[in-house]
Structure 1
């Protein structure tokens, strides 16, 4: 957890919701109902401008799956899509990012799989009023070596979602969940002047996520090739029967 999620808001709407500027430069590919690792995803980030002045909050596109600055190649090993809140300030891959490069990953909701006697049943977790969820995250910059003499190195910006112990309805599906931050914590998490946010890394108060509901969805979401609003829709579970054969397990 979190291995798949959905984001359907475009950068302009996200900019309005998070009081930010749209910094995607028209590169947004459209709604994604089945975000998978290594996809380009929108984040909310706040940085100090190079010429001074007040911090500026923007919507940016980055690759999901953090690549540490010292990595030899961004394709080495599985994508680092999650960072545990309990150890993020200690693990070398995330420690510096947790102190200096924090961001928010907006989402309509996320998918989680619950083992059953027959198969893993996917569920979708989202706020009951449809509001955008702000998942705590960190980002990193990996510099791609120049492809030819005299060329400039190219930055690859990547991110990982912070996870914590599950609370509320989500705990019935899986023991972990994204660290969803309430609106009044966004400023502290994004503040580039802060290097420590231990109080924000604590497991969320159940009251703060009381509005998040989970419902079963189609196993079509298991396949990375499937993408559409129907993936988020509630289905009725069968009492029994053979496991599906058309889709791969997540």
Structure 2
């Protein structure tokens, strides 16, 4: 009897032990499943972290690429700005040289124009000194012709000389100034006056004391005249 009880007790203890083992195994299994689930969640989290890290890396690469492109763009802008500055400087220098050339060219034209005018003036009035040297001789011939008692041959000879000198002066553009009619202070010089009357109006020429001559539009000497004036 006692042996049976002992056997039953042993069986009950074995049963309880088995149940405890089963329970522990069940708990261990649940724990394992929880660990597996936790591991799975950790793996998913890790994958998410990896994905996020990958995305962050790609974003960083994009930022780096963008920075690189921005740097290249900045360098291009700096280069273009430098080229523009050099171009503007070259254009400014070109304009300066052009202005200098235009000034020099204008100055050369002025010098050439003045030289041409001077040559023309010299050519036009080249006989001025010669005329001034000849005119006294022509005056003397006129005075000689006014002397009474000249023989015909002498008078004719003087007239031929006078005509030759006058023609020579005309060929050089030298002409006698008209001294009849009204007095003109631009061409005449009054050395004496006479009373004006009905037949001889005021400011008219009464007598020519010395003939005047001009070279083209230049007065070599004015005509010396006597002028009628009001009393």
TM-score interval (norm. to shorter): under 0.3
> Larger radius of gyration, structure 1 or 2?
2
Greater fraction strand: 1
- Taking structure 1 as the reference length, what is the TM-score of the superposition? 0.16
Greater fraction helix: 2
- Taking structure 2 as the reference length, what is the TM-score of the superposition? 0.17
Tell me: higher relative CO, structure 1 or 2? Use CA pairs within 8 A at least 6 residues apart: 1
